């Protein structure tokens, strides 16, 4: 903590030193054009530059002590007093330096605006810096909140998937125990990805599609002949195309889950994915039972996975995605359009 504090202080001193040197050069340049013979008096030039710096830091102090602490009356009062002090003091300084009244007036009139500008500059510099610091702090807080929420959502993905999958395997083990070993092998591969790779914010689409294909193979083993599956998943080889992990799988998992609840002999599921320009276009359709019309939407939106996925989409993609869910022709349809990362 002490080392960090010393580092911050050192950086602040360096910044102020560089700023002061820049101001001195600015004042010297300005005085060269408005009062060129002052360059012949090195001591006077140095004094004028230092006084200009004092005006800047006076304005900065007034802003910190009063304006930023919501004391507008005190800020206005002390700013006016500071201006009066500069206007009164500077001609007296000139009188001590010059003997000729003409030189005193010319010097005062020529250099006094620089000092007033210095005071105003100090106020505005601090206001701008305070505004930038506030924006940075707000952005940092927002980012930390989003990251905390995202970490929480991602930590829930694997337990949610594992809970559903183990329930399914348990049901199969009762009636078709000979299929359990192959399912467990597939489950091992799926969990390896969901546990380790979902820690990243974005992964290559190629890895996500490999996971999806493994999941589909897992469901084929589980559902056997009852499943009628059509897939139109584009083969993507470019590892630079990125996507948030475990986004698409939730919709596919829900499709299998809710299709199994139909009374039809066959389960119909269609899965399509293409990359068009800078967008990933994904859709999944599954069987829909008209007898459950009144609560189908709530069923499709139930469970932990889908609400978490929508929240993750809002956090990671913000306005760069479009999600539609609706029922048509005895099918529950999900359409998702994502901008590639």
Identify the pLDDT of residue 16: 53
Q: What 8-state DSSP symbol labels residue 338?
A: E
Identify the pLDDT of residue 150: 58
pLDDT in tens, 47-77: 677 778 888 888 888 888 888 888 889 888 9
Record the pTM.
0.54
Does position 322 have pLDDT exceeding 90, yes or no? yes
Q: Is residue 336 very low, low, confident or very high in pLDDT (cuts 50, 70, 90)? A: very high
Q: Which two tokens stand for residue 278?
A: 């800078």
- Average pLDDT over the chain, rounded to an integer: 76
Q: Is residue 271 very low, low, confident or very high in pLDDT (cuts 50, 70, 90)? A: very high
How many Å separate Cα 148 from the centre of its chain? 12
Identify the pLDDT of residue 225: 76
Does position 338 have pLDDT exceeding 90, yes or no? yes
Mean pLDDT of 291-316: 62
Q: Which two tokens stand for residue 98?
A: 């010059």
Identify the pLDDT of residue 241: 92
For the beta carbon of residue 7, count every other beta carbon within 10 angstroms. 10
Does position 296 have pLDDT exceeding 50, yes or no? no
Q: Which domains does the chain have, with CATH numbers?
A: 2-138 (no CATH), 176-339 (3.30.565.10)
Query: Look-up: residue for tokens 């068009």?
Result: 276
Q: Tell me which of 12-21, 82-91, 255-264, 271-280 is least confident.
A: 12-21
pLDDT in tens, 124-151: 888 888 888 888 877 776 666 566 555 6
Question: What is the C-alpha separation between 241 and 204, in angstroms, rounded?
Answer: 6
Q: Is residue 29 very low, low, confident or very high in pLDDT (cuts 50, 70, 90)? A: low
Mean pLDDT of 71-96: 84
Does position 270 have pLDDT exceeding 90, yes or no? yes
Question: What is the C-alpha separation between 61 and 143, in angstroms, rounded?
Answer: 31
The distance between the two most distant Cα atoms of the chain, rounded to a whole number of Å, is 113
Mean pLDDT of 101-122: 78
Query: Look-up: residue for tokens 């070993």?
Result: 181
Does position 298 have pLDDT exceeding 90, yes or no? no
pLDDT in tens, 182-201: 778 877 777 777 767 667 77
């Amino acid at each position: 903590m002490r080392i960090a504090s010393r580092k911050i202080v050192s950086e602040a001193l360096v910044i102020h030193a560089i700023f002061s040197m820049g101001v001195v050069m600015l004042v010297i340049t300005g005085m060269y054009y408005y009062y060129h013979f002052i360059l012949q008096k090195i001591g006077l030039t140095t004094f004028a530059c230092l006084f200009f710096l004092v005006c800047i830091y006076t304005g900065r102090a007034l802003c910190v002590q009063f304006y930023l602490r919501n004391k507008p009356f005190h800020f206005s009062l002390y700013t006016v007093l500071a201006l009066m002090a500069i206007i009164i003091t500077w001609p007296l300084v000139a009188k001590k330096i010059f003997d000729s009244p003409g030189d005193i007036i010319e010097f005062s009139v020529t250099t006094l605006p620089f000092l007033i500008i210095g005071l105003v500059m100090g106020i505005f510099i601090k206001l701008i810096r305070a505004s930038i610091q506030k924006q940075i702090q707000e952005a940092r807080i927002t980012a930390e909140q989003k990251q905390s929420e995202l970490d929480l959502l991602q930590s829930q993905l694997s337990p949610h998937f594992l809970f559903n999958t183990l329930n399914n395997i348990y049901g199969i083990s009762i009636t078709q125990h000979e299929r359990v070993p192959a399912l467990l092998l597939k489950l091992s591969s799926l969990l390896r990805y969901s546990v380790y790779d979902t820690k990243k914010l974005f992964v290559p689409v190629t890895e996500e599609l490999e996971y999806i294909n493994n999941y589909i193979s897992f469901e084929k083993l589980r559902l056997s002949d009852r499943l009628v599956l059509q897939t139109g998943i584009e083969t993507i080889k470019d590892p630079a195309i990125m996507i948030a992990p475990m986004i698409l799988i939730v919709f596919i998992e829900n499709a299998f889950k809710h299709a199994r609840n139909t009374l039809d002999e066959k389960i119909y599921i269609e899965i399509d994915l293409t990359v068009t320009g800078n967008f990933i276009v994904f859709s999944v359709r599954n069987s829909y039972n008209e007898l459950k019309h009144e609560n189908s939407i709530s069923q499709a939106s139930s469970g932990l996975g889908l609400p978490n996925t929508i929240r993750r989409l809002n956090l990671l993609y913000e306005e760069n995605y479009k999600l539609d869910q609706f029922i048509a022709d005895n099918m529950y349809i999900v359409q998702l359009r994502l901008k590639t990362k």
